[in-house]
A and B are shown apart, each in its own frame.
Chain A
């Protein structure tokens, strides 16, 4: 874990990229979205205040996935017609990038895959099944969402996207997959649905009365 210090091109406040794979961060002071272009920093946009949300997870929350520990480094908040959900960018022991999605406290951990065949959005209709790495996955939801905010460090440039379609899939063995159709080439993330007992979150938000 090599920290790199720089200053915000907008307000001059100190910026730290804690993870080498981080490409983008949000300035904690002026909320500028800052993208790293090798050594220089460039302000590409600004985020509004994140909507008030109820997730117990926050930046620097720690947890476990399998035999590895992880720490939360960043977040993308999505809004859809039923509400919101978070995709928390996690960094696992050894610097592996992953995502902890949190939809009304339903948790899943997934990792970007490559080289697997991804169906088109039209093919991925509710109830259709696809086999990846020998595991059959079935489409359980199709969600049209839009980006509602970012926070912390992300491994790619991500801001100001408009409409995004996500397809979620599950297996008979708690495997979880999600396809992100926001780019021309869809991205497939595969992992596991997890629960609070197994991820053992620490440094979570506290709630009045709880």
Chain B
């Protein structure tokens, strides 16, 4: 964009009639009000004579974190910080203050950079009205540009401090009613100035570090405190991705489980009947004939079916590879009691026990069995030992399911806590 034979519009300054100090005007003919940089009087910049519109009376002077005159690119648009105001709302007797920096580019609309407790937003006015009526009304959500925004807060904001220059009239004590609707990282806001004007704007949450880099500011931005209305949740996206991954893993586990169920052969490798008499030999041991476990490494089930009747026995198995001597050991307590008490029958335990040995390699095996029983038993114990090869098992599937869903559940819980902290600060908290 270049001029044709005309001199550029030059920067000028105004002299304060109150203290005489000169203040540079950065927005050229846009400046309606300029705050004297020395005594903080609000001056009428539109009149060549420059008159004082409001004199500064507060004892406290606010210092903007970003100095006026700072230039840089924010969200891809070059801009200069030209104005600064502090605004305040009061909720349940507590005053909350935030700071707004007015951003200028002679070939763009004015924008705002806002800061509250270390949280920053770049705000632009919007050309189209959100759906649902022009003025904020109640707490119904709004839609704008296919995005749904939830009502966050409606409050009356009062300007408590101004510095720099503004293209419209501004005074300490000005009030407007503002309503905010959020869809992180965006915030849709309406400002109503009595019955004269309603202005809708869209803010985008920008991390302090990004502001500092964009504007080449020295030092570091203030550390953000708490969760801001439209601060993007660090958990939201991650949680969603975790659930998506978890669902993929669950689907994979289901497929593997079904394949396993379909391919499990439940092939009997050994069945032997034994009797042992604990009254004469409370400890006994024996060895079964050698049997074949074929195929690939797979689960083996050992079933002990007894005729125990109000009696217990201990049985220890060692599944020993006849060729290598490799042993898989497992010990079981089997007991079965029953009776009638107060007219109700009861049972405890079971005469049959099953135990699984996962992933036993193929080969020739025998079982070494050790038994122990109640010396005071009334009868000998008969039991049948069955060894089943390639048995179907579902335990690993349950374990896998739990392991898969625990991380996304934890993440969801953290995301929920984050949202709780966000909405705690709203009208709906």
Cβ < 8 Å to A, chain B residues 156-190: 167-169
Q: Quick check: A193 and B128 within 8 Å, CB to CB? A: yes
Please indicate the chain A residues that have their CB under 8 angstroms from the CB of B110 in the complex. 104-105
Q: Quick check: B133 and A56 within 8 Å, CB to CB? A: no
Q: Quick check: B9 and A127 within 8 Å, CB to CB? A: no
Interface pick from A38-46, A68-76, A136-144: A136-144
Choose from A139, A173, A206, A207 the contact partner of B128 (Cβ within 8 Å).
A173
Q: How far is the CA of A138 from the CA of B197 in the complex (A)?
A: 12
Interface pick from B22-30, B230-238, B260-268: B22-30
Q: In this assembly, does A21 line the interface, its C-beta being within 8 Å of a C-beta of chain B? A: no
- Distance between B66 CB and nearest chain A CB, rounded to angstroms: 18
Interface majority SS on B: helix, strand, loop or mixed?
loop
Please indicate the chain A residues that have their CB under 8 angstroms from the CB of B168 in the complex. 82-83, 104
Please indicate the chain B residues that have their CB under 8 angstroms from the CB of A58 in the complex. 6
Q: In this assembly, does B346 line the interface, its C-beta being within 8 Å of a C-beta of chain A? A: no
Cβ < 8 Å to A, chain B residues 98-152: 105-110, 125, 127-131, 133-135
Q: In this assembly, does A28 line the interface, its C-beta being within 8 Å of a C-beta of chain B? A: no
Q: Quick check: A54 and B167 within 8 Å, CB to CB? A: yes
- Distance between A177 CB and nearest chain B CB, rounded to angstroms: 12
Cβ < 8 Å to A, chain B residues 2-26: 2-4, 6, 8-11
Interface pick from A9-17, A87-95, A149-157, A196-204: A196-204
Q: In this assembly, does A20 line the interface, its C-beta being within 8 Å of a C-beta of chain B? A: no
Q: How big is chain B's contact interface, by range? A: 35 or more
Decide yes or no: A204 and B130 within 8 Å by CB, A53-B29, A127-B135 being known contacts: no
Q: In this assembly, does A195 line the interface, its C-beta being within 8 Å of a C-beta of chain B? A: yes
Q: How far is the CA of A142 from the CA of B196 in the complex (A)?
A: 5
Q: In this assembly, does B68 line the interface, its C-beta being within 8 Å of a C-beta of chain A? A: no
Q: In this assembly, does A120 line the interface, its C-beta being within 8 Å of a C-beta of chain B? A: no
Q: In this assembly, does B300 line the interface, its C-beta being within 8 Å of a C-beta of chain A? A: no
Q: How far is the CA of A127 from the CA of B133 in the complex (A)?
A: 7
Q: In this assembly, does B1 line the interface, its C-beta being within 8 Å of a C-beta of chain A? A: yes
Please indicate the chain B residues that have their CB under 8 angstroms from the CB of A67 in the complex. none
Q: How far is the CA of A203 from the CA of B4 in the complex (A)?
A: 6
- Distance between B33 CB and nearest chain A CB, rounded to angstroms: 9
Q: Quick check: A205 and B3 within 8 Å, CB to CB? A: yes
Decide yes or no: A206 and B127 within 8 Å by CB, A51-B46, A54-B167, A138-B134 being known contacts: no
Residue of A nearest to B194 (CB): A126
Decide yes or no: A56 and B106 within 8 Å by CB, A82-B168, A83-B32, A141-B196 being known contacts: yes
Q: Quick check: B11 and A202 within 8 Å, CB to CB? A: no
Decide yes or no: A195 and B198 within 8 Å by CB, A54-B28, A203-B4, A204-B3 being known contacts: no
Q: How far is the CA of A139 from the CA of B129 in the complex (A)?
A: 10
16 pairs, CB–CB < 8 Å, chain A vs chain B: A51-B29, A52-B29, A54-B28, A83-B168, A106-B109, A126-B196, A126-B197, A138-B133, A140-B134, A170-B127, A171-B128, A176-B127, A204-B107, A206-B6, A207-B106, A208-B8
